[in-house]
Amino acid sequence: MKFIVNSTTLLREIQKLNSVISSNNTLPILDNFLFEVNSSSMSIIASDLEVTMISNISVESNSEGRITIPSRILTDTLKTFSHEPLTFVINQENYSVEIVSELGNYQLTGNNADEFPKIPKLSSSSAVNFSSEIFANAIGKTLFASGNDDLRPVMSGVFCELSSENTVFVATDAHKLVKHTRSELISEKSTSFILPKKPLQILKNNLVSETDLKLEFNDTNVLFSFDNITLICRLIDGKYPNYDAVIPKENPNKLIIETKTLLNSIKRVSIYANKTTHQIRLKVAGSNLQITSEDLDFSNRAEERLACQYEGVDMEIGFNSRFVIDMLNNIGSEKISLEMSSPNKAGIILPLDGLEEGENTLMLVMPVMLNN
């Protein structure tokens, strides 16, 4: 088997696929890329058993065949070439791979392609088309709020609820929650599933605006296809918690402030907070917001006062500063509204600008108990 491919084109594609390959694969074959050549086109495949990513590119070839090639040595080799054609000559009996360039040749050993896991096929699936830009924006607004607890796998992904009216994306780790709604993303079939974190991160890094994203899904897998890329992943099995039940409906105390002003203030003040709790205290009275933190173990304390618009009773509430910083970093709005009902109930952060038509975002952060 023999094929000719441009070094830059091949490097660009395998760098996308490298994000799938796990550093602690249980099967050695998963440290390889699977190459499938079919005359003038070639598929390159990477898998970790949970996520499979396929890239299709054009090559010069008059033969067909399959081989797996170690990912690390191939990537390191391609990084050293500038834009030039490379010829791959593969012996399918002993799986030797020879790479020929203008300057020399390089030999390595691949593996039998039959040992590579089979690509999942989606039977009895449904399909829906999304805008890549809108989907990437939804991932960016929600993914950071998902959990990392292996004991609660349903919370380690993003919950997607598709209907004929809208699509709702939800992520939570039980301390913070984001609900992002898009009315342009609709599906004839109402359904819901939980997408794992890893494939969503890969999508976020590779989705290009102004391209269509096709989703195919059944009860166990979802397939994303865009440009020359196909990404297949196993859905997280389980029932997602009733997120609407934890969102307080009546929040009469509303604080409006510039996002950047509040974010920078919390970043400074939180440096002096306890390193275990990361607790900051927000005290609001009239048009004055006081943000304080302290670490009694080291006698550290910080306080800042900010001007704000406020409607409601005077209030003092505590939050984990890291959660609030995460939300303000991802909300994509120059001004936010912080809505509260009482010091022991969740605070709601809403963007006041920067939203597109048909887009709604709600961020919820649980309070922490204040030690007076």
> Which residue type is seen at 17?
L
Does CATH place domain 2-115 in 3.10.150.10? yes
pLDDT at 119 over 90: yes
Q: Give the whole-number percent of the chain exceeding pLDDT 70.
A: 100
- Per mean pLDDT, which range of 25-29, 343-347, 368-372 is the poorest? 368-372
Averaged pLDDT for residues 283-308: 96
Residue whose C-alpha is closest to residue 349's, from 243, 240, 259, 244: 259
pLDDT by residue (tens digit) across 206-221? Answer: 998 778 999 999 999 9
pLDDT at 280: 97
> Which residue type is seen at 72?
R
Cα separation, 243 vs 249, in Å, equals 12
List every span in the chain annotated with CATH 3.10.150.10. 2-115, 126-244, 247-368
pLDDT by residue (tens digit) across 300-310? Answer: 999 999 999 99
pLDDT at 133: 92
Confidence of residue 372 (pLDDT cuts 50, 70, 90): low
Does CATH place domain 247-368 in 3.10.150.10? yes
pLDDT at 150 over 90: no
Q: Name the pTM for this structure.
A: 0.92
Distances (CA, A) of 45 to 36, 37, 66: 8, 11, 11
pLDDT at 165 over 80: yes
What architecture is the 126-244 domain classified under in CATH? Answer: Roll (3.10)
pLDDT by residue (tens digit) across 16-67? Answer: 999 999 988 889 999 999 999 998 899 999 999 999 999 999 999 989 999 9
User: Roughly what angle, to the nearest 10 degrees, separates helices 132-142 and 197-206?
Assistant: 130
Cα separation, 20 vs 52, in Å, equals 7
- Per mean pLDDT, which range of 99-103, 263-267, 353-357 is the poorest? 353-357
Q: Which two tokens stand for residue 182?
A: 């898009």
